[in-house]
Structure 1
């Protein structure tokens, strides 16, 4: 069992309104101090989602499909499920922040480090495309992560790469990510805003937000989005990624379109739901394809040079997302009380033990504390402020997050090398 200390914060005052960060929230209420200390006493880390999907196999009950269908019996079609509270029996033992982070710091073949090693802009661009595909992880039918509470953080290092996430908004739920490496070769700045909607026979989660990958040494910035998550309830249960992903580098004038879809299906039935197909082209002449992309994101994806006809393997899932290593705590004293693996530790422990009564109670406690702190802020006229990001929204309602620090410091949680 890992030990952690509460992380104290300072309150910032501005005129009659007080701006508070999550650390001051944790310690603001004397009634919550003992509870906060207790939950900061353990960090529970679980295996990342990979091709094996072992966690789901361990937790999956025999009547999962019927139980999932019963959940949505009273939900009307078109309903926004952003704040739909799942029973603990449907939760993976990890937060959504952890899942976002894992697609960056859990990668067997480290496709991210390749992005800054290309000899020209075209080679770097195709490396970015390969890495984007590597962030596609096998979704699991019938299970979902915890909804992060406001101010929750997740901080992990893999080698020289340091990744920091923070839940910067609760209504709507917005997560921010910042990652840098020690050599200044790559920087990631993301904001994530999922909007799941119930469509009667399916649930589709559209992930809004801006994803940027920056290669400072080449003055190149790549902007991209991610596919939608489609959960089919009827006629047969399935879960898959769908939709079109665009990757754009204005600095080099290159662009890619990737279509995630079900191949050879009839009315959404049959076929393979893990197909990805696309192209790379110059933004100035989108009709002229430079490379064709084709394959399956859980197997291999090929890259075909249209001019020469040469075909190469762009991405290999067995190298990237198979046999992933579980992170571990390296420095117990560095753990923040807002760290995801600490905030949800009791819930995760109970889920792993299949003690559903304890898991439900622990989950209610976490969510109840968050509601109490929100009520307390409202009564005191306090406005909560993220600790690590500035948050803004444009006229179209899109959220943008800007890191307050130039680089991410090394984390108390690390991903060990496979040989260690």
Structure 2
């Protein structure tokens, strides 16, 4: 954890597949089940939870924007560069599939990141990769991401909207929107979605990623279809967890080129349908190894809108378990946002994103970065 008292900036370690009882990321709310049931006592099945406010006791000391960013810049192995360096179209496609799987991150049941405020940003650099996120809508919550690596000539553009709903015994958060990864040296654009999150409350608590992820190269027509699921036995105990199964195929001929099988928290294997050869294309231990909290290189250059700055006072209170101070800090941020909304409404003004051109059509939200590349950030990952 990094603390800078001047701006109350708090940065914590990313989520990991390892169980670290002393980790900032492993924070868990006390009396968990009793408190969770009390939260949903007045919420009916099918209810939209996008406006549902969690008390600080159930918050991780970080924003959802930071969690999105971590899935891109917090890796122990450089899968992104490998995407660019593949010798053939198929080599690069397989590397993109592995990279897409690496963005699936563990979730701790019972605690959740803060809902980002409108205009909140998260700006971090790792090596040559510069990542910038902005909350471009608050209701509904929509986040945009732009990342560039000028050395590898790689660009990422995401625009996504979570839609959590309460189903009586679970919360299911579908994530709508599109992720693009561009390998500019090769003139290739890859489009993909992400799995949705299922938080089970009864009969046994737990968190799983589920659903179908499709990865498509627009120029070549090669497609991967990956199914995320967890099977559970009676009463939710046992079963086969964090499973990924799927295939890679040529969409023009529908010929299956490879079969995909494994677990996103361990290894993913690829079977060549032409010769039966099997190889490992993804190892979670390598991806999640040695992950550390970002550090601040230049505190004066950190934007006022930076997630770790906006929520710094609340993050400090959560880490110190000072719940009264945490409640006051959260109300302070939310109260300020309500005042800004009223002020804009009274003046007839519309909020405009600083970093993205935002549009909405029948297919959903779309965003285009205003700048061609993302500048280096004052917050870095070593």
Query: Quick check: TM above 0.5?
Result: yes
Instruction: Please list every run of 5 or more consecutive structure 1 residues that lacks an aligned counterpart in the other structure.
Output: 5-40
Counterpart CA distance in 2 for 1:346 and 1:205 is 28
Instruction: Render the CA deviation track for 1:265-309: whole Å, top value 9, x for unaligned.
Output: 4686631231111110011133x2111110111011101111111
Tell me if structure 2 keeps the 8 A contact 1:241–1:273. no
Q: CA deviation at 1:323?
A: 2.8
Whole-angstrom distance in 1 between the partners of 2:240 and 2:172: 18
1:266-285 superposed matches below 5 A = 270-285=238-253
C-alpha separation between the residues in 1 aligned to 2:300 and 2:150?
A: 22
- After alignment, is 255-264 or 114-123 more displaced? 255-264
Within the candidate set 237, 242, 247, 2:205 is matched to 237
TM-score (norm 1): 0.87
The gaps in structure 2 that reach 5 residues or longer are none
Residues paired across the two proteins, number: 378
Partner of 2:4: 2
Shift of 1:69: 1.6
Aligned counterpart, 2:50:
82
- Tell me, yes or no, if the aligned pair for 2:84 and 2:152 is still in contact at 8 Å: no
- 1:404 match: 370
Match for 1:204 among 172, 182, 197? 172
Verify the 8 A CA contact 2:29 2:110 in the aligned structure 1: no
TM-score, structure 2 normalization: 0.96
- Quickly say closer, same or farther: Cα 1:96–1:306, change in 2 above 3 A: same
Residue in 1 aligned with 2:148? 180
Alpha-carbon distance in 1 for matches of 2:14, 2:25: 13
SS at 1:383's partner residue?
coil
* Runs of 4 or more above 4 Å deviation: 55-58, 264-269
Using a 3 Å threshold, how does the CA distance of structure 1 residues 61 and 399 change in structure 2: closer, same or farther?
closer
Q: Residue 341 of structure 2 corresponds to which residue in structure 1?
A: 374
Q: How far apart in 1 are the matches of 2:175 and 2:26?
A: 28
Q: CA RMSD in A?
A: 1.5
Provide the residue aligned with 1:101 in structure 2: 69
**Alpha-carbon separation, structure 1, partners of 2:30 and 2:369:** 44
Aligned partner (choices 115, 126, 129) of residue 147 of structure 1: 115
Equivalent residues of 2:158, 2:178 under 8 A apart: yes
CA distance in 2, matches of 1:269, 1:209: 33
Segment drifting more, 316-325 vs 187-196: 316-325
Residue of structure 1 in register with 2:381 after alignment: 415
What's 2:102 paired with?
Answer: 134
Which residue pairs with 2:160 in the alignment? 192
Q: Please point out which of 132, 136, 139 is paired with 1:168.
A: 136
1:302/1:323 Cα in 2 relative to 1: closer, same or farther (>3 Å)?
same
Q: Against the structure 1 CA distance between its residues 56 and 66, is the aligned structure 2 distance closer, same or farther, given a 3 Å change threshold?
A: farther
Superposed counterparts of 1:238-253, under 5 Å: 238-253=206-221
Q: Distance between the aligned counterparts of 1:376 and 1:53, measured in 2?
A: 46
More relative contact order, 1 or 2 (CA 8 Å, 6+ apart): 1
Q: Retained in 2: the 8 A contact 1:53–1:138?
A: no
- Return the alpha-carbon distance in structure 2 between the equivalents of residues 372 and 390 of structure 1: 25
For 2:211 and 2:249, locate their aligned partners in 1 and report how far apart those are by CA, in whole Å: 19
* CA offsets 1:230-283 (integer angstroms, 9 cap, x no match): 011111111100000000112011000010001464686631231111110011
- Other-structure match for 2:258: 291
Question: Is the 1:193–1:207 contact (alpha carbons within 8 Å) kept by the matching residues of 2?
Answer: yes
Aligned partners of 2:81 and 2:152 also within 8 Å: no
Match of 1:320 among 278, 283, 287: 287
Q: Report how far residue 89 of structure 1 moved.
A: 0.2
Q: Tell me if structure 2 keeps the 8 A contact 1:203–1:232.
A: yes
Counterpart for residue 123 of structure 1 = 91
Q: Which residue of 2 aligns with 1:18?
A: none
Secondary structure of the residue aligned to 1:218 is coil
Alpha carbons of 1:412 and 1:122: their partners in 2 closer, same or farther (altered >3 Å)? same
Alpha-carbon distance change, 57 to 103 in structure 1, aligned in 2, over 3 angstroms: closer
- Which of 220, 234, 245 in structure 1 is aligned with 2:188? 220
